[in-house]
Chain A
Amino acid sequence: MATSMVHLCRSNFLRIPCLCSQTARSFFTMNGALCFRATQLLYAEPPKKKKRVDPKQEMMRQQRILKRMKKIQFKMGDPELKPIEEFRTDKKLLLDDKRKRDTPALTYEEQERRALLQKDWARHKFQEHVTETNLIQALLRSQEKALKELRAESEELYQQAIQADSNLFPFEVKGPVYTPPIPGYAKDSPDGEYVDISKQYK
């Protein structure tokens, strides 16, 4: 009697759809009259056979994987960028208390002056940019007019003039210095030869 009561309850339970969630774990096997046992829900994948692990082969496999990863990384480049020594402060120095510089706190006037100067500078640079852009446009206009005039005279010369100049690049020039070179200064470096020992990053 007891078993038939349980049977009825369970079967009723299943008939209510929201309460019935068929997961692998809660697969109800007491359903039909046969009550046969079924395996877990496998989702069309039979369980994997466990292979005997040979330690040497395992190591070889892992090495091969590492090699492949290194190759890919080499192609992609370093995720960590090369450090620029001038922009980096050594952590040891930062933590050292003796090295703290004691500067007095900024007054309100000083802060105001700095803020206003920053704004003035931004305005100045913007004006510079505007004049530069206009200058470039004027140069281009002048060149276009010249090419037009040339074309009016001779199409052949015009075609030759609009060819790209292959001798233009590479173009190297050293910029202006603060003080001009002294004529007749010692040819060799007066400080002697030096060897650059700065760190090279791959």
Chain B
Amino acid sequence: MAAPRVPQIIRRMSLKLASVGRERVLGNVATTFQKLHPRCLRNYTTPQGQSSTLHSTESTSPKWQLVSAVCLERYPVVSQDRVGIEQEYGNLLETVELENSLLSEHELQVAQHKERMLKKQSGVLEDDDDERELVTALDLEDQYTEEFNKFTPASRTSDTEDMQSVQRKLMDKLVLLVKCRVGDRSLWMMPQDTRQDGETMRQAAERVLLSQCGMQEMWRSRLFGNAPSACFKYVYPPDVQEDRKHKGAKIFFYKARLMSGDIKINANISEDYAWVAPGEMDKYLIPSYLDTVRKFIVPIKSLEQV
């Protein structure tokens, strides 16, 4: 069955999430549950036997449409600040290392210089001419600090408010979210597309990266693994169900990492896009979608708000 164009599907779909429930409600999935939640037992229908045909499922009409979504992450550019006990312990380690160390050449020379100065002042030392020609250790120190102060490194915290900028929060991990039309409203989600015939789920994810994010060069981003990281299910409303001949859609998430450069969003498919930190995702995503997403996105430890 020819896969319909992506915009059409997305326009037709409206997410009735209350009726579907969470992932835990496994309507037509195999009988082995890890946790038998009471809600599962209530909605438990007779198992259909795992798509009984082992060779191909194209003969039996699938109940769910398969969609691949890509979670494109930009990892932190800059290391995080030390927090609380990390700072204290870091200081302790430094002091201990200093205490256990020996004096370096430079320090010896500084000490010598100071001795000479004292002797000079007390009037013991004879040769004054030699002293003026030599460059003392303290002078060298001054030279070094001067050179260091001339150089200004780039700022660790970028101040851009632009949600579309990839240089947004340098210490945090950013995830790409796009805004697409779904039914009668626009929703924020990860870039996704239905799987076409003859494709594996991972190939569909690669296609999404290519077409929707403008990743023509393969080295600019990296998809990890053939297996999806999470699955989000939702049921179509009745009219769409009849039209599509599917009960709903299953979105499989694939993780990818932005290695270098920036993205070019395909404006035909998505209205808007943003680079969102894991802590800010609740302002964009709908609650059930957010729950699924939180399960496989690893937040940065010290900036954890998720």
| Residues of chain A whose beta carbon lies under 8 Å from any beta carbon of chain B | 89, 93-94, 96, 98-101, 103, 114, 117, 120-121, 124, 128, 135, 138-139, 141-143, 145-157, 160-165, 168, 171, 173, 175-182
Q: Is the CB of B229 within 8 A of A156?
A: no
* Residues B140-164 near A (CB distance < 8 A): 153-156, 158
Task: Tell me the bound Cα distance from A103 to B78 in angstroms.
Answer: 36
Chain A residue numbers with a CB within 8 Å of B23 are 145, 149
* Residues B54-94 near A (CB distance < 8 A): 54-57, 62, 64, 66, 75-79, 85, 88-89, 92
Chain B residue numbers with a CB within 8 Å of A94 are 102
Chain A minimum-CB-distance residue to B111: A98
The answer to whether the Cβ of B103 comes within 8 Å of any Cβ in the partner chain is yes
Q: For the complex, would chain B's binding face be called helix, strand, loop or mixed by DSSP majority?
A: loop
Chain B minimum-CB-distance residue to A139: B296
Q: How many A-B residue pairs have CB under 8 A?
A: 157
The answer to whether the Cβ of B202 comes within 8 Å of any Cβ in the partner chain is yes
Which residue of the partner chain, among B34, B53, B228, contacts A146 with CB atoms under 8 Å? Answer: B228
The answer to whether the Cβ of B269 comes within 8 Å of any Cβ in the partner chain is no
Q: Is the CB of B229 within 8 A of A100?
A: no
Q: Is the CB of A177 within 8 A of B226?
A: no
| Residues of chain B whose beta carbon lies under 8 Å from any beta carbon of chain A | 23, 26, 28-30, 34, 50-51, 53-57, 62, 64, 66, 75-79, 85, 88-89, 92, 96, 98-99, 101-103, 108, 153-156, 158, 170, 200-202, 222, 224-231, 233, 250, 252-253, 257, 259, 292, 295-296, 298, 301
Task: Tell me the bound Cα distance from A121 to B91 in angstroms.
Answer: 12
What are 5 A-B residue pairs whose CB atoms fall within 8 Å in the complex?
A: A117-B92, A143-B229, A150-B231, A178-B78, A180-B156
Q: How far is the CB of B229 from chain A (nearest CB, A)?
A: 6
With contacts A121-B89, A156-B55, A182-B154 taken as known, whether A161 is within 8 angstroms of B202 at the C-beta atoms is: yes
Which residue of the partner chain, among A99, A138, A153, contacts B51 with CB atoms under 8 Å? Answer: A153
Q: How far is the CB of A150 from chain B (nearest CB, A)?
A: 7
Chain B residue numbers with a CB within 8 Å of A180 are 77-78, 154-156, 158, 170
Q: 15 other contacts beyond A155-B50, A162-B227, A178-B156, with CB at 8 A cut-off?
A: A98-B103, A120-B89, A142-B296, A143-B229, A149-B250, A152-B29, A155-B53, A160-B201, A160-B202, A176-B75, A176-B77, A179-B78, A179-B155, A180-B77, A180-B154
Task: Tell me the bound Cα distance from A39 to B151 in angstroms.
Answer: 94
